Chain A
Amino acid sequence: MVARLWSVSTPDRMPFHPRQLPSGILSLTLAVVSWMLALCAGAAAVTGQDRPAPDPEAGRAAYLQHCARCHGAAGQGDGLDAKRFYPRPRDLTLGVYKFRSTASGTPPTDEDLFRTITQGLPGTNMPDWKHLNDATRWRLVDYLKSLAPTFADTEPSPVTLERDPGPQRADLAKGKAVYEQLGCAACHGAAGRANGTSAAGLVDDWGLPIRPADLTHGWAYRGGQQPQDILMRLWTGIDGAGMPSYAEAVSPSDAWQLAYYVASLQEPPHWNLIAHALVVAGDLPTAADDPRWASAERTDVRVRNVVTPEGEWRHPPTVRAVSFKAIANDEAVALLISWHDPTQDAQAPADRLALVLKPAGLAGDVVSLQAWPSRGAPPLDLCHWSAATGQAREQVVPAFERLEPASGAPLASRATYDDGAWQLVVQRPLEQAQVGEAGAIAKDGLTAIAFAVWDGGNPEARAVSPWVDLSIRRRGRDTSIFPQSIDLPAGRQENRTVP
């Protein structure tokens, strides 16, 4: 679907038509071009050729305009929005930077800072600042360096990486063995789902709770998701966070195999704006191992913690995304919903998930689950599954807190938990007659749905998704509704950084 989204905009820019070339030459050419582009993308963004002469006043002005809101007027990571965020904005006066090309404990290079400003940090609230011109970004680099004495005291010590053996020589079995040997699973989990035994107790160097990266979420790798980015993190560590440098702990060739293996754990996300159900005749799947799921379209949605007065940072999110597939027949729809949760919690507070139906007649994102229930907000129809009962039930409630595990109409469901991942199959009638005020799922059209997720092991954090349209089409897929003309809602822009 993402590929489709991109493809609608690419033909205009294509310098030649693909059909003009034999397919073998085409694929070879594309491979070479994309390889060169990948090389250039890393290098071109950080060359210092256009670096202007230092101008402290201009740097400070740019900082106050663009950075201070989060990083604070004095750079202490205490801006207006800082408290809401996880990860928290960096205290720039400490000179401790996570994403470097330098040895553990040494400051970043100027190019490292320029790259982070230019590219932002995926999976965090640090956006990219490509829209600022190069001169402004270089002045910001100079200004950031002036905030921390470490830049005057300590020289950056760039690390050198061995030559990339290339994907042809990647040995994923060897990489997996290195992953196990180096103890990566202690934090990142055996399958990379951020559910290692030490994951829950991690704190950063300032004593604040922190979570390891979910290595299956390549889209949220802060420092880049390519094998060379992963190797750089392994070599430099992530200063201030728990991730140590492995430069002295593993041979360069093993490290490359590990980097390719970690890259292979990434599950490409499908950030569809419209999730298409597979329409079938007859019974719906009741379990995750039903072979028909393989034919159904996968859709991923980001979930974010509901903002509390305390701020997100005190209870870092453990559930970051939900993916689902839908199969419908004439009467009902079955959803296969999966999400990562580092602990299986069957006793209160238990792991829970709710499929939320948007009330008919509300346009746009009027009822954001982040803000629900706001004053005058309607009650919502929730298909609520709890690990405590192992059951799903449907209720219409005015607030999440009013959900009761034992009341409402029972729904057919089955859930399994394996190594940091839940899989839930739940069936819901298109027309729910048993629940008063219940919403309906359009039998032949679009219905807005969303998800709320609770991790019982992280009970202060409730995560909710934006709305996504579930499409059930009876007469084949209607391609006219593909979103050429639909603007991405704010906040989903970062999701488009998908290869």
Chain B
Amino acid sequence: MTRSQALSPVLVAVVVAIGCGSGLPAPSEARQAGKPQEASATTQRRESPDSLQVAQAQQAAQPAPGAPAKAGGGSATIKGTVRFSGAAPEREKVKMDADPACQQQHQEPVLTEEVAVNDNNTLRHVFVYVKEGLPGPVPAPTEPVTLDQAGCWYQPHVFGIQVNQPLEIVNSDPTLHNVNAKPAKNPPFNIAQPVKGMKSAKKFAKPEIGVKFKCNVHPWMSAYAGVVEHPYFAVSGEDGSFAIPNLPAGTYVLEAWHERYGTQTQSVTVGEGDTQSIEFSFTGQ
């Protein structure tokens, strides 16, 4: 079969799907709305095809991975919104026809997540964390953060994890994935997960923002981790909001990191029991 022949059913499917404008939402569009402060693995799960339910059930029993821990903290909260202005690159449809096991899991086109601008002109997938102002590192929880590969898509796309906190990497797909992590300050690794249900445990010993994960078999897959020494971080969600609760009172430098648009910082002072609101604003080129 020639390449163009192989592509034609895919094209037909895409055209039909666009024409209907209905069906299951794409994974990046299908996240459960709301709960911005829990922009974590649990809330960012998409509504699951059957193949994902096992992994999801396992996760449901755990606290939201990547969410700030309650123990040992204060009662201050910094919350806010990541605004976006200017021109955003169009989110492209991901071609998964190289692997039928991926393609079959999606009825609707899947869009790239690199620049995901929400309807309210806010920016999703921004990692916000306390960069300066804390007295020292906070011990890592023993609960793992889960990075799932489901529908040939990393879930979540951006997540936070503490130094030396277990990272559980799960393959929920009936196909080969390789997890190729390219940190700069921590040791890199590239491991195979050929079988559905496989789990691998990893840790990062040093703080590092924007640790990239990719899959060579499915080059459209990418995820980023923010590795920090404390639990005070969040990821902007579907309304662009984030919240970092349980902070001790103090003056902090917060940094917002985005895979395409880089970093921004600002200083915030918050008192015990108070909630401070801030805004970050990224501009498309």
Which residues of A are interface residues toward B (Cβ below 8 A)? Answer: 96, 104-106, 154, 181-183, 186-187, 197-198, 200-203, 205, 237, 239, 242-250, 343-347, 457
Chain B CB within 10 Å, residue with most, of A186, A198, A344, A347? A186
Asked whether A198 lies within 8 Å of B99 as measured between CB atoms, the reply is: yes
Cβ-defined contact, A186 with B176, below 8 A:
yes
Partner of B180, one of A244, A246, A249: A244
Tell which of B187, B188, B194 touches A182, judged by Cβ atoms closer than 8 Å. B194
Which 8 A/B pairs are nearest by Cβ-Cβ distance? A183-B176, A242-B216, A244-B178, A244-B192, A105-B189, A182-B194, A105-B188, A244-B190
A105–B187 contact, CB under 8 A? yes
Chain A residues near B178: list those with CB within 8 A.
Answer: 242, 244
A183 with B187, Cβ < 8 A, contacts A242-B180, A242-B217, A344-B2 known: no
Which label, helix, strand, loop or mixed, suits the secondary structure of the A interface?
loop
Contact of A197 with B98 in the complex, beta carbons under 8 Å: yes
Give Cα A183–Cα B217 distance, bound, in whole angstroms.
Answer: 10
Q: Quick one: which of A182, A205, A249, A343 contacts B182, CB cutoff 8 A?
A: A205
Q: A296 to chain B: closest CB distance in Å?
A: 31
- Say how far A257's CB is from chain B's closest CB, in angstroms: 15
Taking A183-B175, A244-B178, A249-B195 as contacts, is the C-beta distance between A197 and B2 under 8 angstroms?
no
A346 to B176, CA, bound (A): 30
Contacts of A182 in B (CB 8 A): 176, 192, 194-195
Measured CA separation A4–B178 after assembly (Å): 44
Q: Report yes or no: A245 in contact with B219, Cβ–Cβ below 8 A.
A: no
Chain B residues whose C-beta falls within 8 Å of the C-beta of A244 in the assembled complex? 178-180, 190-192, 216
Kindly provide the distance from the CB of B38 to the nearest chain A CB, expressed in whole angstroms: 31
Judge whether B99 and A237 touch: CB under 8 Å. no
Taking CB atoms, residues of chain B closer than 8 Å to A96 are 188
Q: Beyond A105-B188, A202-B216: 8 further Cβ-contacts under 8 Å?
A: A106-B187, A182-B176, A186-B175, A186-B217, A187-B216, A237-B191, A244-B178, A249-B192
Pairwise interchain contact B189-A245, C-beta atoms closer than 8 A: yes
A12 to chain B, nearest CB (A): 48
22 intermolecular pairs with C-beta atoms under 8 Å apart: A105-B188, A105-B190, A182-B176, A182-B195, A186-B176, A198-B99, A198-B218, A237-B190, A239-B190, A242-B178, A242-B190, A242-B217, A244-B180, A244-B190, A244-B216, A245-B189, A245-B190, A247-B191, A345-B2, A345-B3, A346-B2, A347-B2
Residues of B within 8 A of A242 (CB): 178, 180, 190, 216-217
CB nearest to B188 among chain A residues: A105
Interface residues of B in 202-244 (CB under 8 A from A): 216-219
Residues of A within 8 A of B189 (CB): 104-105, 245
The answer on a CB contact under 8 Å between B190 and A187 is no
Q: CB within 8 A of A104: which of B2, B191, B194?
A: B191
Q: Which residues on the A side are within 8 Å of B175 (C-beta)?
A: 183, 186
Are B2 and A249 neighbours in the complex by a CB distance under 8 Å? Answer: no
Q: How large is the interface on B (under 10, 10 to 19, 20 to 34, 35 or more residues)?
A: 20 to 34
Q: B3 to A343, Cβ gap below 8 A?
A: yes
Is B193 part of the binding interface, using a Cβ–Cβ cutoff of 8 Å?
yes
A181 to B195 CA separation, bound complex (whole angstroms)? 7
Residue of A nearest to B201 (CB): A248
Give every chain A residue within 8 A of B8 (Cβ-Cβ).
none
A198 to B198, alpha carbons, bound, how many Å?
21
- Determine whether B1 belongs to the interface, using a CB cutoff of 8 Å to chain A: yes
B120 within 8 A of A: no
Interface hub of A96, A106, A197 (most chain B Cβ within 10 A): A197
Q: Residue on A with the closest CB to B186?
A: A105
Contact B3 A203 (CB under 8 A): no
Q: A186-B175, A242-B178, A249-B198 are in contact. Are A198 and B190 (CB under 8 A)?
A: no
B58 at the interface (CB under 8 A from A): no
From A187, A247, A248, A249, contact of B217 by CB (8 A): A187
Bound together, the chains give a CA A321 to CA B19 distance in angstroms of: 47
Q: B191–A245 contact, CB under 8 A?
A: yes
Q: Which residues of A contact B188 (CB under 8 A)?
A: 96, 104-105, 239
Q: Which of B4, B179, B193, B194 has the most CB of A within 10 A?
A: B194
Known: A182-B176, A198-B98, A343-B3. A249 touches B216 (CB 8 A): no
- Chain A contacts of B194 at CB under 8 A? 181-183, 246, 249-250
- Give CA–CA (A292, B99) in the complex, Å: 40
Please give the distance in Å from A80's CB to the nearest CB on chain B. Answer: 29
Give, as a whole number of angstroms, the nearest-CB distance from A210 to chain B.
Answer: 9
Instruction: Report the minimal beta-carbon distance from A388 to chain B, rounded to whole angstroms.
Output: 11
A121 CB, min distance to chain B CBs, angstroms:
19
**Is B56 engaged at the interface, CB distance under 8 Å to the other chain?**
no
The interface residues of chain A lying within 8 Å CB-to-CB of B195 are: 181-182, 249
- Convert B1-28 into 0s and 1s, putting 1 for each residue whose CB lies closer than 8 angstroms to a CB of A: 1111000000000000000000000000
Contacts of A198 in B (CB 8 A): 98-99, 216-219
**B200 CB within 8 Å of chain A:** yes
B2 touches A203 (CB 8 A): no
Closest residue of chain B to A346 (Cβ to Cβ) is B2
Once the chains bind, are A203 and B190 in contact (CB under 8 Å)? no
Write out the residue numbers on chain A whose beta carbons fall within 8 Å of the beta carbon of B190.
104-105, 237, 239, 242-245
B192 CB contact (under 8 Å) in A105, A246, A346? A246
Bound complex: CA A96 to CA B216 (Å):
17
Q: Are A201 and B2 in contact (CB under 8 A)?
A: no
Instruction: Identify A457's interface contact among B3, B182, B218, B219, CB under 8 A.
Output: B3
A201 to B215, CA, bound (A): 11
Known: A183-B175, A183-B194. Is A205-B180 also a contact (CB below 8 A)? yes
- Chain B residues near A106 (CB, 8 Å)? 187
A198 to B101, alpha carbons, bound, how many Å?
12
> B99: which A residues are within 8 A, CB to CB?
186, 197-198
A202 and B219 form a contact (CB under 8 A) = yes
Bound Cα distance from A201 to B198, whole angstroms: 25
Q: How far is the CB of B226 from chain A (nearest CB, A)?
A: 20
Task: Closest B residue to A237 by CB, please name it.
Answer: B190
The answer for the CA separation of A205 and B214 in the assembled complex, in Å, is 10
> What CA separation (Å) do A243 and B216 show in the bound complex?
8
